[in-house]
Structure 1
Amino acid sequence: MRQGPDLRGDQIPSEIPSVLTKRMCLSQVNGIYDPLGLVAPFTIKAKILLRKMWGIKLDWDDSMPENMRKDWIEFFKELFEVADITFQRCIKPEGVDSQTKPTLIVFSDGSEQAFGTVAYIRWMLNDGRYVSNLVASKSRIAPIEVASIVRLELSGAVLNKRLTCFIKKEMRLQFDREFHIVDSEIVRSMIQKQSYGFKTFVATRIGEIQEATEPEDWWWCKGELNVADLITRGKTPSEIGPESTWQRGPTFLQRPIEEWPIQQSCSEGNLPERAKIIMVADAREADTLANRIDVSRYSSYNKLLRVTARILAIYDNKNFSSATKVLSAEDIQRAEIFWIKECQKPIMKTLNDDKVTFDKMYAKLCPQVRDDGVIVVGARAGRYVHFSYNKQEVPLLLYRHPFSKLYAVHVHNRGHPGVQTTVSKIRSKFWIINLYKMAKSIRHHCVPCRRQEKDMVGQKMGDLPLARLKPSPPWSYVGVDLFGLFTTRGEVNKRARGKAYGVIFNCFTTRAVHIDLAVDYSSTGFLQVLRRFVSLRGYPSEMYSDGGSQLVGASKELKQVTEGWDANKLHEFGISNGMTWKFSMADSPWQNGVTEILIKGVKKAINHAIGNQILQFHELQTVFYEVANLVNERPLDDIQLIRKTEFIFVRTISFLDEPQEEYPADHGEKLTTLDIDLNSCRTSSRHTGSSGPETTSHLSS
C-alpha cells in the first residue's frame, strides 16, 4: 500500500491512501498465508471483492469507486482480528483409545458468488462422547460468466472429492467411515447416476467424483445445517473462533450417526443437464465377397477386375498361391460378370418379389434373364444383335451402383470424349439407367475436360460450303492444315533434338481424318506427306487449305507434277484424276474451320497420350496414326455406334472393351492410355540418361 512500516489497526482508515487500486488490494490479499484454508470464510470475502472489480473492468492502477473502497477498508480492519483466532493444534483429542478409528465428514456447497468444501474428523472418546475438529477447507469464487446453481453445487462436490483424496494421502490416519454431505438433492441424485447420460460439463465432473468416492457415501442435509455455506457467503474473524460452528462442526456431529439429520432417499424427478440420447441400431450388411472387396474404394475399372479375378481364384483353389497367377482373358471376363450380377441384385430381387413393379420399371427395355443369370435388354432388337459386330446382348446396370459409374468413368477417361460419344461407347457394352445424366456428371467433374475445354466467346456460324453437302465418295473433298511444332529425339544420338509438324487431312463427306508427320515446314516436306496420303486414300477432287506459303508452293509444284504424270503412273499411285487446290482468304482461319475444329480434338488426344514425353520421329508418327484411328471412332448418332472407320474399313479396328494396362509415365505423372500402346516409346525414353523432365511439345495451331 505504501513504503514504510506496516500499519497498525488504529491507523485504519486514516493512513489508507486516498487512491486505492486493484493492484494494492491484490497485493494485500496475496500476503495472507493460509494453505489449509482455516480462515477460508474470511478470505473468501476478499476474493469476492476482487471478483467485483474484475466485473466492472477496473484497470490495475485506476481508483476504485467509493462504495467499493469502503468495503475494502472494512476488510482491512477485520484483517487485524485474524491474529486473535486460535486453532487446536492436535487433531486427535485426549481420551481416545489408540485402536479407535476416526470418521471423516466433508461438507460442500455452492452459491452465485463462490463454492467450497470443508472437512472434519470425528472421534469417539472413551466415555462415549464424540468430538469433531476442523481439518482443512478449499474455496473458489464463481466464474464471471453466469453459471447455474446446479453447476456451482456440482463444482463444490468436485472440491469435496479432491479435498478427501488430499487428506487420505497426506495423513497417516485410517478412517472408519466417510461421509460426503451436500444440501442439493439434484447434485446428490446426479452422483448416483452414470455420467454418460449428462452433458459434457456435468458428465466429466460426475465421472471424477465416482472415480475416487462411492456413491453410497454421499448424503443430503438441509441448507441451514451445511457448514460449508459459511465459505460461500463469508464470515468475520469473530464468527470463526475456537468454539464456533466453523471449528467444531455442526452440533449433530456430537450425536450418534443414527441421529444425524441426513438422508439418502431423495426424489430424483427430471434431472437437469441431461443429454439427448439417440438410440442407433447397428444394421450391418451381410459379409459377402462384394462387400469385402468394396468397389467404392477403387478408381480404376481395370484394377477392380484384376483384383476381383485374383480373389475369385483364391476362393476357388482355397489357397493364396493363386494370387500370383498370370490372369487370362477368361479370368477378367469372369470378374466382370461377377460385378454385373452384383449390380443386378436389386433388379433380380424386384423381379422375384414383385413382378408388377418390375414390369412397370423395366418393361420398355424388354429385359430377359440369360442362361448365366445375367439380365440383358434389347429382346426386340434380337436380329440386330445377331448381325452386329460383337453379337452380344447388353446387360442392364443400375444408375446408383458404383460399378456402373466406375465403368462410365473408365470409358470417358480413354480419350475424354463428349457426352454423346461416351454414351454411345458405353451402350455398346452395357445399358445403364439414366446414362445421359451420368455421362454429363462425369464430364462436368472431369478435371482434364474442364481444364482444356473452357467456355469461349462464340460467334455466328456461316453457311456450309457445297463440298460439305454434296454426296460423294470418301476423300473426294479434303481439307488440310498443319499444326505443331513437336520436339523429336534423334534416332542415333539420343540427346539430339529435332522439329516436326503435324499434318491433318479431313474428309468433308465422312468427317474422317488422316494424320501424318512432316519432317519440316517446307513445301518439300509437306509434299512427301501429301504423296503418302494420296497413296493410301487416292487423289481428292478438291483440296481446301489456309493460304500458308508452304501450301501455296505445294499447289504450284503439285500442278507441275500432275501435268507430267501419265495414266500408268497415276494408276500406280491409285489416282484417277487431278485435284483442284482452293485457298482461304489471308488471316481467315475460320474459313477452314471444319479442319481447325478437328485439330482441337487431335491435340487433346495427343496430350493425353504422350504428355511431356519426347519421342523419336517414327514413334511419334505411330502415335499420330493411332490417334487418327481413335478420332475416327466418333459415332454418327446415339442410336447405333456407327463410326467413321466403318466407311473407310467396313469394320471397326479399335478394341474398346478389352482391358488395357495403365503404365506410369516418367517423372511421377499418370499417363492415360487412349487405345495406344506406348510402352515401347516409354522404354526407349527412359534410356535418354536425363534426370529431369524433357522439353514439352508445343501444340499451338
Structure 2
Amino acid sequence: MSSISTPPDKNRWKHLMDIEFPQADSGGVSLIIGQDFPHLLVPHEVRSGRDGEPYAVRTLLGWTLNGPIGEDGKIENDAICNFIYSLPVAESHLDQQVERFWKLDNSQDIDESDTMSLNDKRVVEMWKRSVVICDGHYQLDIPFKLDPPELPCNISMAEKRLKSLARRLSRDSSLHDRYTYEMEQMLSKGYAERVENSQIEGTPGKIWYIPHHNVFNPKKPDKCRIVFDCAAEYEGTSLNKRVLQGPDLTNKLVGVLLKFRENKVAVCGDIQEMFHQVRVSPQHRDALRFLWWPQGDLTTRPAVYRMNVHLFGGVWSPSCANFALQLTANDHEKDFSPEVIQTVLKNFYVDDCLKSVSCDDDAIALVEEVTRILLKGGFQIKKWLSNSKRVVESIPSADRGKKVMSLELEEGLPSESVLGLVWHMDKDSLGIQVRPKEKDYTRRGLLSVMSSVYDPLGFVGPYILQAKKIFQDECRLRKGWDENLEEGNIIKWKKWLSQVGKLNEFRLERCYIPRDFGQITSCRLHNFCDASAEAYGSVSYLRVTDDTGRVHCSFLMAKSRLAPIKPLTIPRLELLAAVMAVKVNKQVAKELIFNLEEPVYWTDSMIVLQYIKNEDKRLQTFVANRVSVINDGSLPRQWRYVNTKLNPADDASRGLSAADVVSSRRWLQGPDFLWGDESQFPLPPSSYPDLLQHDREVKGVVKSHAIFVANEDKLDELFNRYSCWFKLRKGIAWLLLFRRWIASRSLRDSHSFGAKTHLEVSDLEAGEVAVVRYLQNRYFKDEIKALVSNGRVSKQSKICKLDPFLDKGIIRVGGRLCEAPITDSSKHPMVLPRDHHIIKLIVRYVHEVEAKHSGREYVLAVLREKYWIPQVRPLINKVLSSCITSMRVRCDTGTQKMACLPTDRVTPGDPAFTNVGIDCFGPFLVKRGRGREKRYGCLFTCLAIRAIHIEKLHSLDTDSFINALSRFAARRGLPKKIRCDNGTNFIGGERELREAVQQWNDSHKIREYMLRQRIVWEFNPPTASHMGGVWERQIRSVRKILKCVLHQQLLDDERLDTVLCEAEAIVNGRPLTLVSGDPQDWNAITPNSLLLLRPTENLPGKYCKADQFRRHWRHAQYLADRFWKRWVHEYLPTLQLRQKWQHEKRNFQEGDVVLLKDESTTRGTWPLGRVSRIHKGKYGLVRSVDVKTRKGVLKRPISKLCLLESELGISNNL
C-alpha cells in the first residue's frame, strides 16, 4: 500500500461523491483483519468509473477505496504498510532435529576420525602457501571456493538490515550506547577500518556487505557482542556458501577435560578476542564490508567499513583461528620446551587453555612461557586461574581472572566455570551448575530442560537417563511438540524436576591422584559395561598403585545410550555396551599421559563373553560386526565377568536419582573390589555353559544340493545379433512369413499361399508390431493385465501419466492430443521400455536414416511420431556421441591443461636476448627505382623481458634470414636459444647455420668459443601457432603501430627502416606491469629499463661521495640489478594464472582415430588419420603427436586434431 485515502479525495470523481468513507485514523494500528475471515471481505457492491479511475467496494466492514487517487493518477501521501501473516509451525523440522538427536545418542562413533576431506586439505595447503606475519599477527586468506569468488553486489540487502537495526537501536538507548561502544572499540583496535570514497567501487565480484547484529550471553548480560551474519543470503547465495569451512582443528572437548585432571596443580586461561587476532589478507577484505553510522549517529548517512581481521559469524573463522594457534606453536618449536609446545597444541579448546602440572614452580613457568609464545603469534592470553595461591600471586593482576584479581592470602580461592563445568578451586573439585527454567509440560519444554544439564564426561549420566526415558516414551506416542505430556509421564517429569537442583551439590576430585600419593608403580584402566531393556552404558575408572602398595581409583568417563525405539534383544544390547566400553577406553587412553598397562573390561553378560571368546562358530551379521569391533580394540583375555550387583555400569543402564548420583560411592569411585588387591578380583566361572549351541545369533550349518537351471531367452539372443533396426524388422518379417507358410501347409487347405520371394511394406509393419508386442509383454506385464481387467493402470505404474490404453494388444499413449490434426501414430505412439538393445537400434536408425544425423531434440521429435520411450534423452546422447558421421561434423579440437612456462621465460639475471623467439611479418611494398619490391620484418623477442628487435628482410629465402640473424647477433649479442615456428625459412636457416658452425670449427681459435656459445634451436610443431603466443602477440602490436603510421603509404627502404625502428622503440617502451596512479609509487618497468640502462625515476637516497658514479659500469650494474629485482617481484607474478585450459584432459593415445583440422578447406574434406606416436611434455601431458595419413606421417599439435574414436573404441570429445 502506497497511499491512504482521505475524504476530500472522493470529490474529484462523480461516481464516488455520495459515498461516505470512514475516516482513516493516523494513529497506531488497533486491529488487523486476517485472511482467515474471508466473509468480512466479500464484495457486496462495487462502484466503478472510467478506465484509470479508482473504484469503491462495499463489504461488511464498510466502503473501501481502491486504485490511484493522486493528481493525474500519481500516488500521494506515501505510507508504509507491513503485511503480517502467520503460519502454523512446521513440525517436520523439529521431528528431523529429534531424529538426529536419537541417532547421535545411539551412535557408537565416540572416537571420531581426524582424517581431512579433499576440501579441508585444499584449505590447509592454501593457508600454508599464503600465510604471512603482519604487525606481529598471522595473516591468512579467506578460503573461497572460487578465487575470485564472483560475489553479487548485495548492498541493498545490507541497507535493509541496517534500517531494521536502526529501528531497534532508536527504541533502546542502552543497547545503542553499548553497540556504538563495541563498534568504536573495533575501529580503535584496528579490527575494522573505514573504506575511503575513492575505494568504494572496488573490484566487482570481490565485494560483499555483511549485516550485523548483537548477541547477549545470559551469563554476561552487560556485554554486547557484535556478530556478523555471514549466512545472510542474497540472490540465493551467502558469504558462508562461497567459502570452504576448513578442517576441524579444535581439540576434542572430552580430551581437554581429561588432561585437565592429570596432575595436582591446575591452571586455566583465556585468549582475548581470538578470532580478531588473525588478520585477513588485503585482497579479501572487501568481502568483509559492512555499513555503520560514524560515531553511531543514526541521523547521519551510513558509511562503508571493512574488517581487517577474521570475524565472528564466518564459517571458516574457527578453523582459521585454530590454524594460526597451531602455527604459533610449530613456528617457535625450537625456542620453547616441548611441554609448552604440547600445551598450545593439545590443551586448548578454542580459546580456553586447561592444563595441569606436577608442582607450583612448573605451573608458574608454564604460565609465563605460554603467555610469551602466544604473543609471538599475536595472541594475548588473560584471565589466568589456578588452584594454587602461589601460582595466582605470581601472575600480574591484569592477567588474572576477574575473581582473583585482588586475591588476599587469607582469602579462599573462588569457584569458576571451565568449559561448562564448575571448578571449585579452593577444594580443587569439579561440579555441575544447573539453573533450570520454568517450562511447559510438553515435549518441547522437556527437551529444553533436559539439554540444559551440561555433562560432557557423564558425571550425572544415570540421572539424565531418566529424563531421556520420559522423552522417548513421548516420542513413541507421536504427539505434537506443544501437546501436554501423558499423565503418567507428567508425574515422572515432576519428580525428576524436583531433584534437579540436587545436582548443584555434586563434587568430584579434579585430580586423579591424591596429593599425598606415592610413586606410581601401576596404572590401569578398568571399563565396565551393562545393558537393560531400556538403555545400555559404560563407565571407566583409573586404578593406580604406588610404591607402598596403596591403591586409588578415580572416575574417568561414562556414557549412557537409550535402547533404540525398534526393540533389540538383551544380548544385542549387552554387545552394544561392550562396543561402547572398547571405544571409550580407546579415547581415554589416547588422551591420558600415564604409562598405562593392559586395560580390563568387565561385563555381567556370559553370552557376550562367549561371543568375544568364540573362535569356530559363525555369527549373524549384526553380532559378527560388533564382535569384530571389540576384537579390533581389545583382546579376549582382557574381558572378565563381574556380578551385576558389583557392576557400576548397571547404574548407567538403569538410571539413578539425583541424590544417589551425588552420593553413590560405587558410581563415583568404582566397586569396592577395585580398591583391594588384584588377587581379590572376581574370578571367572570355572566352566562356561555352551550358550551358543542353540543361540539364534549363531548361523546353522545347512547342507543342500543345488540344481542350477539355465534359461536363456532365445529371442534376446537373436535380437542381439542385429546391429540395424531395419534389418531386424526384415528378419522378424521373414520369420513371421515362414511361420504362416508352415501353418498353411499343416492345414492342407487349398487356399494356402505359396512362398514369397520379396517383402512388402505390410510385412515390415507386421514384424515391427511383433517386436513391440514382445517388448511390452516383457516389461509391462502388470500394466497389460490392469488394462485388460479394468481399463487403467495403477497409480504406482511408471507410465500412469501417459493415460495408456490397449490397441490390438499394443499399449499406446492416451495423452491429450486426441483432437490434434496429426496422424494417429503421433497422437497415440507405442510405449516402449528404455533399457533394451532394440531401443538402441531404433534410436540409432532414427538418428542416421530418418533424422539425417540431426541433433538430440530433433531426433526425439522424430521418435515420438511413432514411439514413446520414457527418459530417452540420455540414450540419444549416447548414440549421438558414438556416431562417427556426427562427430566429424560436431566434435571439437583437442585441448590440454596449459603448460608451465619454460625456464627461459622465468629465469632472471641473464642479459637481454639470451633466449629469443623469432617470427616474420609483412610484406611491405617499397619503391625501388620505378618498380616496387616486397620487404618483410623479422622480429626477435626476448623471452624473459619481452623486449623486441626488428630486422628488415629483403626476401624470405635462407640467405636473407641468415643476414638478419647475423645483424641481430652483432647488435644484441649471440643468443643461447632460439624458439620459432616450424616454417621452411627457419628450418633452412638452421641448416645453413649448422654448416657455418662446421666451417668455423676448422679454425682452432674460435672452435672452443663457438662450442661454448652454441645456439640451441627449438621448433614448435607445424601449425601450432598458439605455442608461439609470446612473439605472435608482439607482432600484433607492431602491426597495429605500422597500420597507424603508414596509412597505405608507399615508402622507400630508408623510410621503412626508420618506421620499423620507431615501432621497436614504442613496443620496448610499454610497461610490463600495471601503471599505478599514486605519484609516490615507482614507475612501471619496461623492456627499455634494461636495454637502455637509464633511470626512469630519481635514484633513492642521498649519495655523499662524488666518485660513486665515476665508473659507468657501476651505474649500469645498479640499474640492471634494480630491474631484475622489480621484474621478479612485480612482473613475474603476473604470469602465474592460466587464463584458459585450467584442467587436465585425456591424453591422446597411439591408435586414436582423429580428424586433421585444416583452415584452408571445409570441414567435410578434412583428412582422417591415426595417431602413430605421442610426444609427452615434462609433466606427462601430450601436446603434439605424429599422425599417419594417406599422404604420410605428419606431426601436429592436439589443437589441430579432433578425436573421433579412441584406441579402446570409445568416442571422446576432448
Shorter-chain TM-score bucket reads 0.3 to 0.5
Instruction: Give the TM-score of the pair, scaled to structure 2.
Output: 0.25
Structure with bigger gyration radius: 1
Q: Which has the higher contact order (CA 8 A, sep 6+)?
A: 1
Give the TM-score of the pair, scaled to structure 1: 0.42
| Richer in strand (by share) | 2
